[in-house]
Each structure stands twice: as C-alpha cells, then as structure tokens.
Amino acid sequence: MSKILLSGVQPSGRPHIGNYFGAMKQFVDMQNDYKVYAMIVDYHALNSVESKEELTQNILGVAIDYLAIGLDPEKCIIFKQSDVPEHTEACWIFNNLISMPYLMRAHAFKDAEAKNKDLNVAKFDYPVLMAADILLYDTDIVPVGQDQKQHIEITRDIAQKFNSRYGETFKLPEEVIKEDVATVPGIDGQKMSKSYKNTIPLFASDEEIDKAVMSIVTDSSGERPENVYAIHSLLKTPEELHVLYETHKGQYKALKEALAADLKVFIGPMREKREVLAQDIEKVKEILMIGGKKARAKAGEKMKEVREKIGVSLY
Ligand code: ADP
Ligand code: TRP
C-alpha cells in the first residue's frame, strides 16, 4: 500500500512562489509515489478572513491553484477541511492532552502575541486543529516550509500522548522540508508571506511580476543583490546563475530584469492553465465534493476508533 502524504494551504489570499517552492510543488512531484491528500484548510483561515464572500472565493481559488500546478484529481484527494467535521471533533479531544504553557511556547503563537495582544482562542489552538488534520489520515509525510516544523513536532507529541493514554492509535508523521527552499524570502528580504504583503504571487500577471521584482529591496554595497539572487535560484541552476551574476556584477537593474524575464517564463504557462480551469467552477466544486467524501470516509474510520478508545461509544 502506498504511503500517505498530506498537507494543507490556507485560503487566506493568493498563493505565492514561497508557498509553491516551499510546499505545493512537493505535492505534485510526489503524487505518483504517495497517496496525496491536498487540503484547503478553511477553518484555519477563518482566523484571518472575515468576509464570507472572500472566504468562498479563496477556497475555490486554492482548489483551482492545486489543479493549475498539476495535481491530478484522479490520483489525489483534493478537499476542504470543513467537509470533514471529524477534524474539529478530534481537535477537541486533543485539547485535553496538552497544556496551555506547552502551546504558549510555540513560535507562531509567540510571534502572533508579540504583534497583537488581543489574540483569539483559535489562534492559540491552531496547532491542535492542525494535528487533527494530519493524524486522522495515518499520514506518513507532511511536506511544508520551515515555518511549520514546530507544528509537526507538536502533532507528534499529541499523537504520542494519545497513544500512551489510550493505546496505539496514531502514526507519527514526519515533516519533509526541502532545505534549499525552506524559507523563500519576500521582496523585502523577510520570509515571503501572505500576511507580510511582500509576495510574488504564483499566478502573477507580467505587470505584477515587473512591479514586484523592481521593488525587491537590495543592499547597494555588494556586487550581488542577495535578495534577487535568492529568488532567482529557485528558477535556475547554480551554474547558470554563476555565469549570469559574474557577467552582470553590480548591475542590479539588469539582474532584476533577467529575474523578471525568467519568472515570466515560469509563471506564464501555469497562469494560462489556471485561467482555463477558472472558467468551469462547477467542475472545480465537483472535484472538491468528491475529495471531501473520500477524505471523510478515511477520517471517519479513525474517529470511530478514537471514540471507542476514549470511552464515549455506547452503541
Ligand atoms: P503564508 O505564510 O503565506 O500565509 P501558508 O501559511 O498558507 O502561507 O503556507 C502554506 C505552505 O507554504 C506551508 O507549508 C508553509 O510552510 C509554506 N510556506 C509559506 N511561506 C513560505 C516561504 N516563504 N518559503 C517556503 N515555504 C513557505
Ligand atoms: N499551518 C499550515 C500553514 O500555515 C497550514 C496547515 C493546516 C497544514 N493544517 C495542515 C499544513 C496540515 C500541513 C498539514 O501553512
């Protein structure tokens, strides 16, 4: 039986090249060797998306993105978290296994707390819902960017706690983090993130690519603009880059133009494919609905076992 790969993307805005190289590309590359569960974590995104229309559009958007990057719905299960209520059910049970001080030590929580004192409970409990997402599927691997490493560690801790209290139930998943793309920098040099407004969208138009690349922050003292180089290295081999950056030493504008041209070649065909897919929303909804049913069948079996083990199954 093939091993299980599961991962998720929040429908919280347009995906960017950091999401793609850090995580989404791995789902596509591995879809022939693993059973892939590609999730749209809409309940996680509820934390940042308040508008009903926006959330609906974003969910469909991520589904189209998954298809446009090459996930094959015949092979993979593409689904949204809210179609499998067992996730929130498991989250509640897991809440009883770990302490508040433990969750308060999570980096993501500490960062969020530093920025916003008025945090809601969902932000705090976020890793527990994520653990439920992963554990209900007997997941073997979770391809993610570096920022998610600690969340997978928390997931393993929760699995171990459950297993030791109630008997062997959950498999311990492993994160898969590709070293060279673990943290793709944004145009300001910080980690690229939807929440920092420093992204190059994965399906950007040519104009958006030009605008984003020209605004990449560069350090004027060096021969090589490091932020430009880091993004360029996603698209070209070290040998190709060496030649380019040697022949254009210190020529920041020319190097940015070269990066914009390479991004256009890379993004163009995917963007066109996306435009075609976006014309048939009914088809996209059907793919999600079928994916949701398959995912629920799998998670439902595990939850049945969980209810029995914790002692709430009476009939
Ligand atoms: P964002 O931080 O932009 O809101 P998500 O939280 O939706 O992105 O992340 C989706 C996936 O993309 C996760 O696996 C995350 O680790 C990965 N990811 C996000 N930003 C980056 C980045 N800058 N470099 C590498 N991977 C990233
Ligand atoms: N927390 C992840 C992020 O912000 C998204 C996510 C939710 C996820 N559930 C998941 C990723 C399960 C992998 C597996 O990117």
Q: Which residues of 114-135 are buried (b: 16+ CB within 10 A; e: fewer)?
A: eeeeeeeeebbbbbbbbbbbbb
Is the Cβ atom of 23 under 6 angstroms away from ligand 1? yes
Is the Cβ atom of 38 under 6 angstroms away from ligand 1? no
Determine how many CB atoms are found less than 10 A away from the CB of residue 19.
25
Q: How confident is the model at residue 50 (pLDDT cuts 50, 70, 90)?
A: very high
Is the Cβ atom of 9 under 6 angstroms away from ligand 1? yes
What are the angstrom distances between the C-alpha of 233 and each of 121, 191, 224?
A: 39, 15, 13
Determine how many CB atoms are found less than 10 A away from the CB of residue 293.
13
Cα of 7 from ligand 1 centre, angstroms = 11
Q: How confident is the model at residue 219 (pLDDT cuts 50, 70, 90)?
A: confident
Check pLDDT > 70 for residue 154: yes
Average pLDDT estimate for 127-137: 98
pLDDT value at position 250?
86
Please state, for a pLDDT cut of 70, what percent of the chain lies above it: 99
pLDDT value at position 247?
93
Please state, for a pLDDT cut of 90, what percent of the chain lies above it: 89
Q: How confident is the model at residue 220 (pLDDT cuts 50, 70, 90)?
A: low
Calculated CA dihedral for residues 213, 215, 217, 218, nearest 10 degrees: 70
pLDDT value at position 157?
98
The enclosing H or E element of 78 equals strand 77-80
Q: How confident is the model at residue 116 (pLDDT cuts 50, 70, 90)?
A: confident
Cα of 13 from ligand 1 centre, angstroms = 12
268-305 pLDDT, tens digit each: 999 999 999 999 999 999 999 999 999 999 999 999 99
pLDDT value at position 76?
98
Cα–Cα nearest to 130, from 302, 10, 30? 10
Q: Report the nearest-CA residue for atom 6 of ligand 2.
A: 8
Is the Cβ atom of 177 under 6 angstroms away from ligand 1? no
Mean of all residue pLDDT scores within the chain = 95
What are the angstrom distances between the C-alpha of 173 and each of 4, 79, 116, 154?
A: 10, 20, 31, 11
Round to whole Å and give the CA distance between 19 and 164: 35
Check pLDDT > 70 for residue 99: yes
Assess contact for 217 and 189: CB atoms under 8 A: yes
Round to whole Å and give the CA distance between 212 and 70: 25
Q: How confident is the model at residue 117 (pLDDT cuts 50, 70, 90)?
A: confident
